[in-house]
Structure 1
Amino acid sequence: MTDPAPSSETYNPWTVVNVVFHHLVAEGLHPTLGESGHPGEPAAELLRALGIRPAAEGNNRINDDIQRQLADLRSTMLDQPDEQH
């Protein structure tokens, strides 16, 4: 039996960090992330520790949906005759 193909599923890194933090709080802990400054790099380290490769683009499916919606809006707005002139 062979290993299944790796998943192409992506996650928004902040969603994963949020889930971890909620779990820690539920356990009675008081986690902090990036006690001073931007929390991006400490969040990325947390994700790497969990075996998740942080990606700046976040969830690709959401980005794809946004791009489709923007294309639909552009098509709708630009394909209609100009009624102001």
Structure 2
Amino acid sequence: MQFLVIARDGTDAEAPARRAAARPAHLENARRMKADGHLIIGGAMLDEAGTMIGSSMLAEYPDRAALDAALAADPYTVQGVWQSFEIRPFRVADL
């Protein structure tokens, strides 16, 4: 099952520093997700000034529980970068 995930960072003054500290481990985790066939595409969401304020991804997991477990284990969740999620079932168009 495919999912659209929008993960928003915290808005406190320390949020950018938390993101920077967790980023190497998060990217390594994303590479594993991609290699395992779970990450279709993903990247940072930016504000108008180009500052990272969250993440979005298209992911594929057997069900919502498996996705939730993967998100809970991501370094951005563990280290308090991501503060909220919007998750929707999704279907990539067969183009």
TM over 0.5: no
More helix per residue: 1
- Between the two structures, name the one with larger relative contact order (CA 8 Å, sep ≥ 6): 2
Provide TM-score, normalisation by structure 2. 0.29
